[in-house]
Amino acid sequence: MVLNSYETIYILKPDVTEDKNLALVNEYKSLIKSNGGQNVFVQHRGRRHLSYNITHYYDGIYVQMNYEGNGIIVNLLAKSMRFNDNIIRYLTVKQNMTQAITI
C-alpha cells in the first residue's frame, strides 16, 4: 500500500490543560498507528493569538502532526476531531514529496 505524507494542524481551546493536551496527542498518535500510519511526528506550537475569533475564542493552542498514511486515516482523524469539544479548528494537507535535485 502506498503511504502519502500528511500534515494535520489542530487548534485546541485555550483553557485545555496540559494533561488533556497530551492525552489527545497520544490518542491521535495511536489512532494513526493502529490504522497503518507511520513516522508520526508531533510538535506543540503553543498558545497563539487567533487572527479572528472562533466561537468566542481569541487564543488557541496549536498542535502540528506530520505522518505517513492514507485517506482512510485522514478521514478517521477528521471525524474524531469534528466531534471533539476541545478542538475549535483542524486542517489536514497532503505534503508534496518532490525532492530538489542539484546538478
Q: Which domains does the chain have, with CATH numbers?
A: 4-94 (3.30.70.60)
**pLDDT value of position 28:** 93
The cell for 17 is: 490543560
Stated pTM of the model: 0.86
33, pLDDT greater than 70: yes
What is the rounded CA–CA span in Å between residue 77 and residue 83?
10
pLDDT tens column, 39-86: 999 999 999 999 888 888 999 999 999 999 998 999 999 999 999 999
Phi, psi of 100 (to 5 degrees): -75, 130
pLDDT tens column, 2-17: 789 999 999 999 999 9
